[in-house]
Chains A and B, each alone.
Chain A
Amino acid sequence: MNFLRKKLDEIKRPFIKGEKWAKFAPAINAFDTFLFVPNHTTQKGSHIRDGVDLKRTMVTVIIALLPALFYGIYNTGFQYLSQVGTDFTFMDAFIHGSFKIIPMIIVSYVVGLTIEFAFAIYRGHEVNEGYLVTGMLVPMIMPVDIPLWMVAVSVAFAVIIAKEAFGGTGMNILNPALTARAFAFFAYPTYMSGNKVWVSEASMVDGVSGETILGSLASGEQVSYSMLEMFSGSIPGSIAETSTLWILVGAFILIATGVGSWRIMTGGVLGASIMGLLFNLWGANPLMTFSWMNHLIVGGFAFGIVFMATDPVSAAQTQKGKWIYGILVGVFCIMIRVFNPAYPEGVMLAILLMNVFAPTIDHYVYNSNVIKRKKRWESAQIKTA
């Protein structure tokens, strides 16, 4: 370890302030701090600091994403191989999925991190770890056969327009990963919907196809999957959103470590359930009669509410705000699903919409505190007068 440390210090020498490469220090620091927690000590304020930092928080989210990702990789292979009709093992399916998905993850990270590094150097701040999670999320919510260049363009759009234009990590209004998906959804609709995109190779191999459950519902077809299949996730859909089971494992990790807000998650489930129930009672068309419980386990709702709505930067930031925000995400998600067949899945738009309104929700929560203080002052004035 000492040897490595010395070597690193040697490599870093030209990047020290005042030296030749000082401008590029953020880039080299990003690699260095990945290997070692730096030796920085407190200079002002509290003399001791918690062991937690942004890297640890972000990596915890990535760990929480892994179960869903692994299942997504398997399910990609499973959907394809089971339709092709040959015998296959778990490993066959996993390998097929890996060949599809790992390149997407690499493209997402390379493109996104390159932009992040460039901005960090240009602006002269350290590279924030936020993209580690975004970069993982983007491929997980894409259809499996989306061309890699589209992933690259979507990522570039999301990082530059949705994040850096607003001031970088911590300042963005919209969730960057969802912005990437929304960009792809509107820019390349043929690659993002229909019955040829959800199963690997469906557009290339005849006889292989698959519509998402919500897609079938929206076009008035019957759903042939059991509730258990919907829950376990052996259904067509975006790469890692199909398995509610493994998403729940991720949710457990996020809640247990305190990294994800249980208030937003509970609020979301509550909002979606209530909305689903109301539509069930109304029951004016087949979409409305789709059971509220099934609404929770099909499509991207579970993934969205656990991993996307809980993004602390774009979500509401106050406790009360988180409840309101979560409930409304749930409500709007089901509403979009049921009322708007052009968008079979509502969770992406519901979260983006609530991202926009989160600061407004917070404003009213903060304002109640401000008004309380003002009233207290006014009554004190009256007393002394």
Chain B
Amino acid sequence: MSKDIRLRKGADLNLVGRAEKKINEKSKSDLFAIQPDDFFALTPKLIVKEGEEISKGSPIFYDKKNPSINFVSPVSGIIRSVNRGAKRKIESIIIEDHGEREIVHDLSKDLNRENVVELLTNSGCWPFIRQRPYNIIADPKDVPKSILISCFTSAPLDVDFDFILKNNKNDFQSGINIIEKLTDSKVILTVANNSDSFFKNIKNVEIIQVSGPHPSANPSVQIQKISPINMGEKVWVIRPEDVVNIGLFFKTGVYQAQRTIALAGSSLKKPQYFKTKIGAQIKPLIKIAGLKSKSQIRCINGDVLSGSITTNDGFIGFYNNLLSIIPEGNKYRMFGWLPFVDNSILSLSRTSLSWLFSKKGFEIDTNLNGEERAIVVTGEMEKVFPMDIYPMQLLKVCMTGDIEKMEAFGIYEVVPEDFGLIDYANTSKIEAQEIISDAIELMIKEAG
């Protein structure tokens, strides 16, 4: 265990509304959705039509750039609608759940790398594997430098993978045994320091312990400490529950979309865990957890720092284990900008006394707490960014769109979620994640 990672920079935001460690398996969703926006920079090519009957595991669309990668239905049923936005962009494909039909893949072949890749891409399991740089779905033609699975979380209110997967230990191990074939080097598992999680007993992997505040669980941060990504290199990342899904697929031959979701946040009466499937409706879950008041809420697919907005009528995203529900903050505060005023609002800056209340936890809303301004304060971004990169300088070169400089300052090593805390903490309310996301899109377009 000589390679332990210790991080100092960053911040743990103590919010109230953590999910109680009890898994509710009774929730029922009539509708399921596949949302192409869950996959960064993907152009979907639709295969099905509205009204068509499909089975669990039926391809719904494929990736235009990589036609071998199928995106499949998590349930059997009927395509109820295909919702399109501006320029006929597909926003979601809604599936009505009924019936028990499923597509069974033939697992009798020799499970060498070639056949494993073919099975994963055909079955719809491949999108579970994403690559760094860019955080896009991995290219099946690549062989990655390494594969990293971050088995803990550090974002506010995020889930405990050890808890939600403790009954899937064997499936996780069999998933690892498959994934291992995809790389020439070892699969790396990162676990929280001082935890006795079952992940530490997983075989055929290299285990690295990580300690430190958020974003210590972000793969980018860990990869940079273990072996940074150079231009042209690729590292693949998979979320722990998707390793289980891959393991289950190779047990049953059927695409599995198991998803254990933590419904958390200060707006909920009983924040708790739910066992459901990818793309399930959010509404039934919120109904069970109960809302504290009738005031407006924000539903977030993911954590409060880097998740994406959805609504009460929305669906669980492809890569999420967390649904955060917090109050909207569309209210005015008189003279709220004065230092040491409104200390109930969590602040990392010492111009507020909020640190006195940090043990109790904060009820946080979506108010911007100010307006966007020019970048003035320096050093605050670096404090919450534990990578060997100058975040403000990288943001500046990303804003100018200078690709060579973006490369030089480390664009290959970051993804938008790493800038979540910078979004949060910066005085000027700069939209750092958007800047990075736009920059990565530009990189994909220009540099490939």
The residues of A with any CB-CB pair to B shorter than 8 Å are: 1, 4-5, 33, 35-42, 44-57, 59-60, 63, 126, 128-130, 168-171, 256-259, 261, 312-313, 315, 317-319, 322, 366, 369-370, 372-374, 376-377, 380
Contact = CB atoms under 8 A, between A and B. Distances in A.
Contact of B339 (A33, A59, A373): A59
A48 B427 contact: no
A41 B367 contact: yes
A232 B290 CA distance: 63
Interface string B302-338: 0011110100000000000000101011111111111
Contact of B337 (A48, A59, A171, A258): A59
A112 to B, nearest CB: 16
Contacts of B349: 50-52, 56-57, 257-258
B379 interface: yes
15 contacts: A1-B334, A35-B335, A40-B371, A41-B368, A46-B424, A48-B304, A50-B347, A51-B354, A51-B369, A52-B347, A63-B339, A171-B374, A261-B379, A369-B389, A369-B390
Interface of B: 13, 156, 228, 230-231, 233, 298, 300, 304-307, 309, 324, 326, 328-339, 342, 345-352, 354, 364-379, 382, 388-390, 392-393, 408-410, 419-421, 423-429, 431-434
A47 B376 contact: no
Contacts of A49: 367-370, 423-424, 429
Contact of B231 (A57, A129, A377): A377
Among B307, B373, B434: residue with most chain A CB under 10 A: B373
A366 B391 CA distance: 11
B369 A57 contact: no
Nearest to A311: B376
A376 B367 CA distance: 42
Given A39-B330, A49-B368, A128-B376, 18 more contacts: A37-B369, A40-B368, A41-B367, A41-B368, A45-B432, A46-B433, A48-B156, A48-B346, A48-B365, A49-B369, A49-B423, A50-B426, A52-B352, A54-B370, A54-B377, A130-B374, A257-B349, A317-B379
A128 B370 CA distance: 12
A346 B68 CA distance: 70
A226 B346 CA distance: 48
Contacts of B429: 49, 53
A59 B331 CA distance: 22
B371 A126 contact: yes
Contacts of A4: 334
A53 to B, nearest CB: 3
B218 to A, nearest CB: 14
Contacts of A318: 378, 390
B230 A170 contact: no
A128 B377 CA distance: 13
A33 B336 CA distance: 10
Among A5, A52, A128: residue with most chain B CB under 10 A: A52
Given A37-B369, A47-B304, A48-B364, A317 B378 contact: yes
